[in-house]
Each structure stands twice: as structure tokens, then as C-alpha cells.
């Protein structure tokens, strides 16, 4: 795998990290490395949406899956489960990538989101991600998300945010060849 860093968004109390250039037909595979995303508001979710070339708004029709593993620091509970509250069936909302993140001084989430051939105009565009978080109730919670945007227009913009409030953190966009 050869990865090329295209751009970096550093959030410092910002509402969004948006990538509005650099997603083109140059690469078949794009990777967003998200590091230490720390919300201002406790117990919020890190999320993303996309925009199709020539359209406006981050609101493309999404069908997705969301499952999670977890283990509390207290050892009171651990396990693995599907979370229907975080998936979408032809929805147009921002898609959750990591859930229930804490806003404590050392709490955050990190992970990687993959996008495949976003410039393709024949097929839908697929994505998948995996994140690990130190969440608000002092637990390790991993999130596994995948899906597609049910559009055949070229996707050329991606936006990341919290489900409420602002965030700190770094998101790096790579092209993979």
C-alpha cells in the first residue's frame, strides 16, 4: 500500500472538519485517519456525511450498518452488539462513526474511514470504518460501520462533526494506490 497525504484538518473547538477538495478520480481508495477526536459536549458521537459534485449540502442518501464492542473499566460489563440506533436505511443524516465519546481531559476517539471510488458515476460509493473510543462512562468502545450512498453522482466533499457541539482533533486525508 502506498499512501499519499493529501490534506490535514486540525479542529480546535470547531464545529466541522470539511474536505472540499482533493477527492477526485486520482485515487480509487481514500483513507481518513482521525486522531484524538475530543468533543466539547460529553456523550456525543463523531459523525460524517458527503456531498455529490454539483449539489449542495451534506445530505446524501445513506444505507449503513453499525455494530460495536465494549468493555467497562469497572469490568461490570463487556460484549459485542448491533446498534440499530446508529445505522441508516435510506437516511440523509450524518452517519455516526464512533459513539458516546467522553469530553474528559484524556477522553477521545481515533480510527480510520475508507472510501472507495468516490468519483465513480456508475455504481454507488461504498465506505467502511473502525474506531476505538474512551467513552463517557469510562469504557473502551469500538465502532464498526459500513455502508453506501445510494447515489451515482461523484462524491467530492466530506464533512466530519460531532452530533452536538464542537470538537478538537486531527483528520488526515490520504489517497491509496
Partner 1 sequence: MAMTLITTNTITSGTANAAFTSSIDSTYKLYIFKLIDVHPATDGYPLRFYGSSDGNSSFVNQCSVTWYAYTPESGTPSLSYHANGDQHAGSPTDLAYTIGNDADQSLAGELWLFDPSNTTYVTHWYSRTTANGNSDESFDLFSGGYFQTASAINAVKFDMGSGNIDAAVIKMYGVG
In this chain, which of 71, 83, 114, 126 binds partner 1, going by CB under 8 A?
A: 71
Q: Does 69 bind partner 1 (CB under 8 A)?
A: yes
The set of residues, in sequence order, having a beta carbon less than 8 Å from that of 144 and lying 6+ positions away, is: 65, 66, 67, 68, 69, 128, 129, 130
- Could you give the angle at the alpha carbon of 55 between the alpha carbons of 54 and 57, nearest 5°? 140
Distance between CA atoms of 132 and 68, rounded to whole angstroms?
Answer: 9
Contact 113, 32 (CB under 8 A): yes
Residue number with CB closer to partner 1 (47 or 109):
109
Distance between CA atoms of 99 and 86, rounded to whole angstroms?
Answer: 8
Contact 32, 175 (CB under 8 A): no
- At closest approach, how far in Å is the CB of 123 from partner 1? 26
CB atoms within 10 A of CB 154: 17
Q: Which stretch binds partner 1 (CB under 8 A): 14-22, 76-84, 85-93, 153-161?
A: 76-84
Within 127-166, the residues that bind partner 1 by CB under 8 A are 130, 132-134, 138-140, 142
Q: Which residues pair with 8 in a beta bridge?
A: 172
Three cell numbers written together for 38: 475530543
CB atoms within 10 A of CB 51: 20
Q: Which stretch binds partner 1 (CB under 8 A): 39-47, 70-78, 148-156, 159-167?
A: 70-78
Residue number with CB closer to partner 1 (51 or 96):
96
- At closest approach, how far in Å is the CB of 55 from partner 1? 31
- At closest approach, how far in Å is the CB of 104 from partner 1? 9
- At closest approach, how far in Å is the CB of 36 from partner 1? 5
Judged by the rule CB under 8 A, the positions of this chain that interact with partner 1 are 1-5, 33, 35-36, 38, 69-75, 78-80, 105-112, 130, 132-134, 138-140, 142, 170, 172, 174
Amino acid at each position: 500500500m502506498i499512501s499519499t497525504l493529501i490534506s490535514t484538518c486540525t479542529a480546535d473547538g470547531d464545529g466541522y472538519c470539511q474536505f472540499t477538495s482533493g477527492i477526485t478520480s486520482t485515487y480509487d481508495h481514500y483513507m481518513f485517519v482521525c486522531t484524538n477526536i475530543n468533543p466539547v459536549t460529553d456523550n456525543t458521537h463523531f459523525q460524517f456525511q458527503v456531498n455529490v459534485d454539483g449539489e449542495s449540502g451534506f445530505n446524501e442518501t445513506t444505507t449503513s450498518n453499525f455494530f460495536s464492542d465494549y468493555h467497562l473499566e469497572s469490568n461490570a460489563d463487556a460484549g459485542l452488539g448491533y446498534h440499530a440506533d446508529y445505522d441508516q436505511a435510506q437516511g440523509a443524516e450524518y452517519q455516526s462513526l464512533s459513539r458516546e465519546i467522553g469530553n474528559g481531559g484524556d477522553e477521545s476517539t481515533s480510527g480510520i474511514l475508507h472510501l472507495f471510488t468516490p468519483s465513480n458515476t456508475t455504481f454507488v460509493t461504498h465506505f467502511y470504518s473502525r474506531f476505538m473510543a474512551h467513552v463517557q462512562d469510562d469504557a473502551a468502545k469500538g465502532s464498526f460501520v459500513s455502508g453506501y450512498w445510494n447515489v451515482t453522482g461523484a462524491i467530492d466533499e466530506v464533512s466530519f462533526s460531532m452530533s452536538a457541539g464542537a470538537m478538537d482533533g486531527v483528520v488526515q486525508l490520504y489517497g491509496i494506490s
